[in-house]
Amino acid sequence: NAGVMQNPRHLVRRRGQEARLRCSPMKGHSHVYWYRQLPEEGLKFMVYLQKENIIDESGMPKERFSAEFPKEGPSILRIQQVVRGDSAAYFCASSPGQGPNTGELFFGEGSRLTVL
């Protein structure tokens, strides 16, 4: 029973390059969340998606960042023209969705982006 799978686990990019982070939710989960964890800081909400829809992107920077969760395949967090300040751990989480549940999130192990 695979949990939330994120890849790559580690990614190194030079300033100006693009970073693509992938997340496959747990089986049966239709809701995906992306969080960013800066060194020595907590988790900051970025975006919440359901299949083919962005539900809440209030935590996404206005420029260079985008997210999608297509009908088929993993959710993608894309960062264009990366800068050093984008270096962080990016965590994906999934949940079964709405309905009578506790809202528990199931987290992946994170993708650690380093921008040189």
Partner 1 sequence: GEDVEQSLFLSVREGDSSVINCTYTDSSSTYLYWYKQEPGAGLQLLTYIFSNMDMKQDQRLTVLLNKKDKHLSLRIADTQTGDSAIYFCAESIRSSASKIIFGSGTRLSIRP
Closest CB to partner 1 among 50 and 81? 50
Closest CB to partner 1 among 93 and 115? 93
In whole angstroms, the minimum distance from the beta carbon of 93 to partner 1 comes to: 8
In whole angstroms, the minimum distance from the beta carbon of 32 to partner 1 comes to: 11
Closest CB to partner 1 among 3 and 78? 3
63: tokens are: 């420029």
Instruction: Give Cα separations from 88 to 10, 40, 60, 85, 100 (angstroms).
Output: 10, 10, 14, 8, 34
Total Cβ atoms within 10 A of residue 34? 26
Closest CB to partner 1 among 69 and 91? 91
The rounded distance, in Å, linking the Cα atoms of 79 and 16 is 10
In whole angstroms, the minimum distance from the beta carbon of 84 to partner 1 comes to: 22
What does the binding site for partner 1 look like in residue numbers (CB under 8 A)? 4, 31, 33, 35, 41-45, 48, 55-56, 58, 91, 93, 95, 98, 102-110
The rounded distance, in Å, linking the Cα atoms of 63 and 109 is 26
Total Cβ atoms within 10 A of residue 22? 17
